[in-house]
Amino acid sequence: MIKQSKLTVLTRPWHANFTETNHLGSAFLTEPHKFDKVLTRVFTASRIADNPLTAMTKGMGRTSEIEGFDWEWELMGASNRPLIAIANSGAAAGTAVGANGLPFAITVDEDWFKPGDVVSPNTGANNAKRLIRIQSGPVNVAGGYKYTCKLVTDDNAASVVVDAGSQLSKMFSVYEEGGDQSGSTTYAMPMKLKSQLSTYRKEYSITGDAANQALVVALMDAEGKVYKDYKWLKYAEAEYWIQWHKEKERGLWYGQMSNNVAGANGRAARTGPGVQELLKDSHVHVYNTLTEKLIREYLLDIFFGRVDMGSRDIVAYTGEYGMLAFHQAMSNASAPFLTMDSKFIGGSGSNLEFGGQFVKYNGPNGISLTLRHNPVYDDREINTQMHPNKQVPLESMRFTFLDFGSKGGDANIKYVHKKGGYKLGYVSGLQTPYGANKGGLMSNAKDAYTMIVHDQCGVQIDDVTRCGELILGLQ
C-alpha cells in the first residue's frame, strides 16, 4: 500500500489493460455534459524529448536496420601491444643481466619480434628505459618463445632486470651496413561482438460503451489543441503511447541479456542488453564527492591514447540531482573567476537577479562535455533506493558518459531495429477503432476492440572504451 499524503481529499482507483464503463464510473470520469476542466497531457507518439536515448539515436538518424534478431560487429583493436615475459632472464627473480656486453635470453608469450628489433621493458624500477636488441630467435619453448638479446649501450656497467611478468614494448629496429634483415610488422585482428534485440509488445482494450463515454475532463495535446469530443478513447490512447515509449526507453537503459526465460508458448522471451549492461566493461568508477578535478581526470583516462584531441566530445546523462552536483562542482572550481561576472548577476537597483547553471565543461586536451538530463534516472517508480539524506533516488546522481562519435563520422552508438519489426494492429469485435461495427468482419463476439503494438529494437555501442559511468557510492 502506497502511503498517501494527509492533504489528499480524493483518490481514483487504477486499472490496467481493459477499460469498462464501471472503471470510468468508479473513477468519477463519466459525468456527461460537464466540460469545465482540461487535462493536459503530451502525446509522446510525436514527441520523444522525455526519452533521451531514443532522441539521440533514432531521433538523430543514428540507426541500423537488420533482417534477423541477432547481430554482430567487429571492433579493431590496437595494432601492437607489449609482449609479456614468461620466465626470468637471470638465474633468479631480480637478477640483472646484460652487463659487459654479454648476451642474455628473454622468453615472451608471442613470436612477434624479429632480429634487429629494439625493445624496452616497461616495468622494473632500475630499468630506466633500457634498450634491448633482439639478436636471434625465436626458439619455440614450453609456453612461449625464446630470443637471444644484447643491451644497446656502450656502458659496460649497464644491466637490465627482466623477470617473469615484465612487459617488453618494441621501440624501433636497427641494422648494420649491408644487412639483409628487416624489422617486424604486427597486425591487429578485429574482435567480434554480438548482441540481440528485445521484443516489446503492449496492448489495451476498450468496450464500445467506454469508447464513446463522455468525460469530465477535456484533453490537450502537445501543441495546445483541446479535443472537444471529450471521449475516454482520447485519454486511453494518450496514456498508452506515453507508457509505450517510456517502457522502451527503460529497456534501452536497463535491459539485460537473457535467453533463458520462457514465454507462454514455451519459446524464449529474449532480452537484449541495455546501455548500463553494455558499459560494465567500460570505465566504471564509484565516487563520493563530485569535483571538477574528478571529472577532468576521469575523462582524460577515457580519452588518453584512444581518441584524437580534436574529437573528444562526450555527453553525460544524469538525473536532476546529478545536474545539481555537476553545477556545484563547476561553481567551486570557477569561484575565483565569477565574483564580478555579469552572467550570474543581472538587473540593477532593487531588481537584481542572480543565478545560472553549468551544463557544459570544456576541459584540457580538447575535452568537451555536455550535460543532458535523463528522466529515467529520476523515476521513483523504478528507482527505489533512496539517498539517506536527500530522499531522492541514488540513480539521480549517476553519470553515464556516452561518446556518440565525431561529427561526420560513423556513429559509435546506434538504435538497432529489425526490418518490419514495428507492427500495429487491431482485434475488433462489434466495436472497432473507427466506430461501431456495422456489417464488417469481426474477430470476436465482444462489443470491444484491442489495439496491439509490437516492436523489436535494441542499442549498440561499438566501442565501450570511449564511454563509462560515475556511480555515487555512500561511505
Cis peptide, bond prior to residue 138, ω within 30 of zero: yes
Half-sphere exposure of 294 (CA within 13 A, CB side): 18
Most confident of 37-46, 76-85, 132-141, 308-317: 132-141
The CATH number assigned to the domain holding 155 equals 2.40.30
What are the tens digits of pLDDT across the range 190-249? Answer: 667 788 999 999 998 888 888 777 666 566 655 566 666 556 666 777 778 888 888 999
* Digit-coded pLDDT (tens) for 311-351: 788 999 999 999 999 999 998 888 776 554 556 666 667 77
Between CA 149 and CA 159 the distance in angstroms is: 12
Assign residue 50 a region (left: φ > 0; alpha: ψ between -120 and 50; beta: otherwise).
alpha
182 lies in a domain?
no
Least confident of 4-13, 74-83, 119-128: 4-13
The whole-angstrom separation of Cα 418 and Cα 458 is 9
Question: Looking at the domain assignment, is residue 359 inside a domain?
Answer: yes
What's the whole-model pTM score? 0.73
Q: Which residue has the higher pLDDT, 252 or 384?
A: 252
Asked whether residue 344 is assigned to any structural domain, the reply reads no
8 Å CB contact between 298 and 285? yes
Query: Would you say 248 and 455 are in contact if contact means Cβ atoms under 8 Å apart?
Result: yes
Do 233 and 138 lie in a common domain? no
Last residue of a domain, one of 144, 173, 202: 173
Residue 345 resides in a domain: no
Shared-domain flag, residues 100 and 214: no
- End-to-end CA distance of the chain: give it in Å, rounded: 31
Reported confidence tier of residue 418, pLDDT bands at 50, 70, 90: very high
Query: Domain for residue 238, yes or no?
Result: yes
pLDDT at 41 (0 to 100): 40
Q: Do the domain assignments include residue 28? A: yes
**How high is the mean pLDDT of the chain?**
81
Most confident option among 3-12, 117-126, 205-214, 393-402: 393-402
- Residue range of the domain that includes 207: 1-78+192-338+355-475
Residue 53, pLDDT > 80, answer yes
Are residues 309 and 167 part of one domain?
Answer: no
Position 343 scores a pLDDT of: 63
pLDDT given at position 400 = 96
Residue percentage of the chain with pLDDT more than 70: 76
Q: What number is the average pLDDT over the span 419-431?
A: 92
CA distances (Å), 455 to each of 208, 420, 461, in order? 27, 9, 20
pLDDT at 42: 38
Given a contact cutoff of 8 angstroms between Cβ atoms, the answer to whether 68 and 251 are in contact is no
- Is 16 inside a domain boundary? yes
Q: Which is more confidently placed, 286 or 122?
A: 286
Instruction: Tell me the C-alpha distance between 447 and 280, whole Å.
Output: 50
pLDDT of residue 104: 94
23 and 162 together in one domain: no
For 245-254, what is the mean pLDDT? 92
Pick the last residue of a domain from 139, 173, 207: 173
Judgement on whether residues 89 and 47 belong to the same structural domain of the protein: no
- Rounded distance between C-alpha atoms, residue 426 and residue 453, angstroms: 9
Same domain, 143 and 247: no
pLDDT-derived band at 46 (thresholds 50, 70, 90) equals very low
Residues 289 and 419 in one domain: yes
Same domain as 433, residue 367: yes
As a whole number of angstroms, the distance between CA 37 and CA 309 comes to: 56
Within this chain, do residues 375 and 442 fall inside the same structural domain, yes or no?
yes
| pLDDT score, position 317 | 95
Give residue 127's pLDDT band: very low, low, confident or very high (50, 70, 90). Answer: low
Better-scored residue on pLDDT, 40 or 76: 76
Residues 259 and 366 in one domain: yes
pLDDT of the residue at 210: 81
Query: Is residue 301 a contact partner of residue 339, using CB atoms and an 8 Å limit?
Result: no
pLDDT digits (tens, 9 = 90+) for 388-417: 888 899 999 999 999 988 666 678 899 999
* 294 and 324 fall within a common domain: yes
Residue 70 · residue 193 · CB < 8 Å: no
> Hey, what amino acid is at 103?
P
User: In angstroms, what CA-CA distances link 386 with 247, 329, 371, 377, 473?
Assistant: 22, 22, 23, 12, 12
Q: Please indicate, yes or no, if residue 183 is contained in any of the structural domains.
A: no
pLDDT for the residue 121: 87
For residues 133-152, average pLDDT = 91
Least confident range of 76-80, 273-277, 320-324, 426-430: 76-80
Encode pLDDT of 62-104 as tens digits: 888 989 888 887 765 556 678 889 998 888 888 889 899 999 9
Domain end call among 122, 142, 173: 173
Ranges of H-type helices in 212-291: 232-254, 275-278
Q: What pLDDT is stored for residue 326 in this prediction?
A: 94
Question: How would you class 400 by CB atoms within 10 Å of its CB: exposed for 0-12, middle for 13-18, buried for 19 or more?
Answer: buried
- 279 or 8, higher pLDDT: 279
| DSSP-derived pairing of the beta strands 448-461 and 198-207 | antiparallel
My answer on whether 89 and 69 are in the same domain is: no
- The pLDDT tens digits for 353-371 are 767 788 899 888 888 999 9
User: Is residue 44 predicted with pLDDT exceeding 50?
Assistant: no
| Dist. CA 106–CA 139, nearest whole Å | 11
How many domains would you assign to the chain?
2
